[in-house]
Amino acid sequence: NAGVTQTPKFQVLKTGQSMTLQCAQDMNHNSMYWYRQDPGMGLRLIYYSASEGTTDKGEVPNGYNVSRLNKREFSLRLESAAPSQTSVYFCASSPGPSIWETQYFGPGTRLLVL
């Protein structure tokens, strides 16, 4: 099993450009998440999907949109990138939405917005 995979690994954008970060999991998990990691701030939740067909905002959703394409895939879209969105983005999944579930993380996407 590959676990959680993310593409691309690294991306450079200019301010105002758009892009979609892709995430897929092969563990038959119901819940998926998008986080951003910034130095000294830990990980902050952007959006999550408790189950296929549902999405909800997290702590820092502004400037992002998500799509739960199917049970395996959960994409994150930046419509008009800003330098403040320079960060490392992690996708994660868990078996279900219960608060004691372990989350499994992908390797991350490093995004630089100029």
Partner 1 sequence: AQSVTQLGSHVSVSEGALVLLRCNYSSSVPPYLFWYVQYPNQGLQLLLKYTTGATLVKGINGFEAEFKKSETSFHLTKPSAHMSDAAEYFCAVSVTNGNKLVFGAGTILRVKS
Q: Using CB under 8 A, list all residues that contact partner 1.
A: 4, 31, 40-45, 48, 50, 56, 58, 90, 92, 94, 96-108
Residue 85: CB minimum distance to partner 1, A: 19
Closest to partner 1 by CB, 14 or 99: 99
Question: Which residues make Cβ contacts (< 8 Å) with residue 100, sequence separation at least 6?
Answer: none
Show the tokens assigned to 114: 């100029």
- For partner 1, the closer CB: 56 or 79: 56
- DSSP per position, 18-66: -EEEEEEE-S--SEEEEEEE-TTS-EEEEEEESSTT--EE-S--TTEEE
* 3-state SS, residue 88: strand
- The residue among 19 and 50 lying less far from partner 1, judged by its C-beta, is 50
